[in-house]
Structure 1
Amino acid sequence: MSIIIRDVREHELDLVLALNNAAGPGILPMDAAKLRFFWENADYFRVAEKDGLMAGFLVALSHQAPHDSSNFLWFRERYPQFLYVDRIVIASSRRGAGVGRVFYGDVQSFAEMRVPQLAAEVFMEGSSHPALLFHGSFGFREVGQHVMPDHGLRACMLVKELCSYPYVQQTYGNALPDVSWLSARTVPGRKAHLATGT
């Protein structure tokens, strides 16, 4: 069966939390409060579904989000507009099956309509070469390194220029067409950070 990418549903948050905290040392653990923050503030929070089961998730926040991650703040000090991939987690049974590539294609399609850059980081501890190669294959480049003061982890800071953004801005400004594939997440009471349509 094919991989389906869709917005996360609130009743799936416990499963997302379990998936995150079983991911291993390349992903920072999180608690229910952090997950709730993502539910309420992430501009992009989607899951991958394969054979009816959750295969992974990706969370990304705009430069306007009230995020306190030191990696996020590092990018915000240097770039006026971006979408920041806070985490991507793939279930261990689905790694190597192309789920990460599908996610990055989808998040790039979402981002390039709204911001000029996509930002991410890869932790340098342990074997980060596959993750760096993965990001490099998508056109990310290293723009610096940052040591997270609360964890002591060194991160390679990566940015991808989104070549479609200037055309979208010139043609549509901040009023994207009102079509379903361009719509942003809707969470009751949540204020959208990025332009989503007319």
Structure 2
Amino acid sequence: MDGWAGGVRFREAQADTGPCRGRDTIAPCMLLRDAHPDDFPAILALNEASVAVLSPLTPERLAHLHGQAAYHRVLEADGAVRAFLLALREGADYDSPNYRWFVARYPRFLYVDRVVVAGAGRAQGAGSTLYRDLFAFAADAGVPAITCEYDIEPPNPASARFHARFGFREVGRQAVVGCRKQVSLQAVEIGRDGAVA
């Protein structure tokens, strides 16, 4: 279903009684849809499974971020959430030092706070599906840049390769978590069609 919410287009795949053929599905039958509070336990479990490469998340913090998010979508398969992506615009009430770094330097952006994919979904393109949808969302909203960060100390080469494929480039670095981690701050400019500018 296509529609508008808060001036921004949204898409939600409709159920298909035959083989998965919807434009918002990926094999095997993954449904891309907006996240809802009923999804929070699954989102928290996915986050906890990947906490080594992203920040911890409590139920209260997730509820706050969900309320601040410009984009919060999940990929569902067989009735279970297999992946999610949560992103915020400038002006959000968020204390992340990485988000604040972009606030200080970019007047308009969409910040990927976290993207998490369960093991099996990685080989099926779940992360790429979420990012393609995010790029389309940003283009529809007229947002000129998507930003994110990933760890470089300790290194996260999988995230580095993934983001390079989408045209992200390093725009800065900073130490976080009491200088126990160093992150690469990344950005990509996008055109009105969602393609890398």
Band the TM-score falls in, shorter-chain normalisation: 0.7 to 0.9
Instruction: For structure 1, list consecutive stretches of 5 or more residues without a partner in the other structure.
Output: 167-198
CA positional deviation for 1:163: 1.4
Distance 1:41 1:122 in 2: 21
The structure 1 residue matched to 2:147, chosen from 97, 119, 125, is 119
1:48 and 1:57 in contact (8 A); partners too: yes
The structure 1 residue matched to 2:124, chosen from 91, 97, 100, is 97
**1:11-22, aligned counterparts within 5 Å?**
11-22=38-49
Deviates more, 1:74-83 or 1:22-31: 22-31
The structure 2 residue matched to 1:28, chosen from 27, 36, 55, is 55
**1:111-150, aligned counterparts within 5 Å?**
111-114=138-141, 115-150=143-178
Question: C-alpha deviations, 1:7-30, integer Å up to 9, x for none?
Answer: 111111112111111124112211
Structure 2 length-normalised TM = 0.79
**1:1-198, aligned counterparts within 5 Å?**
1-114=28-141, 115-150=143-178, 152-164=180-192
Letter matched to residue 25 of structure 1: A
Q: How many residues are treated as equivalent by the alignment?
A: 166
Letter matched to residue 140 of structure 1: F
Instruction: For structure 2, list consecutive stretches of 5 or more residues without a partner in the other structure.
Output: 1-27
3-state secondary structure, aligned to 2:104: helix
Q: Look up the match of 1:169.
A: none
Letter matched to residue 153 of structure 2: E
2:39 and 2:81 in contact (8 A); partners too: no
CA positional deviation for 1:150: 4.7
By relative contact order (CA 8 Å, sep 6+), the higher-ranking structure is: 1
Deviates more, 1:150-159 or 1:59-68: 150-159
Structure 1 length-normalised TM = 0.78
Distance 1:83 1:66 in 2: 14
Distance 2:132 2:117 in 1: 15
Letter matched to residue 130 of structure 1: A
Q: Look up the match of 1:192.
A: none
Deviates more, 1:17-26 or 1:66-75: 17-26
**Cα root mean square deviation, aligned:** 1.7
Runs (4+) of structure 1 exceeding 6 A deviation are: none
3-state secondary structure, aligned to 1:17: helix
3-state secondary structure, aligned to 2:47: helix
Greater share of strand residues, 1 or 2? Answer: 2
CA positional deviation for 1:143: 0.5
Distance 1:80 1:130 in 2: 29
CA positional deviation for 1:2: 2.9
3-state secondary structure, aligned to 1:113: helix
3-state secondary structure, aligned to 1:124: strand
3-state secondary structure, aligned to 1:95: helix
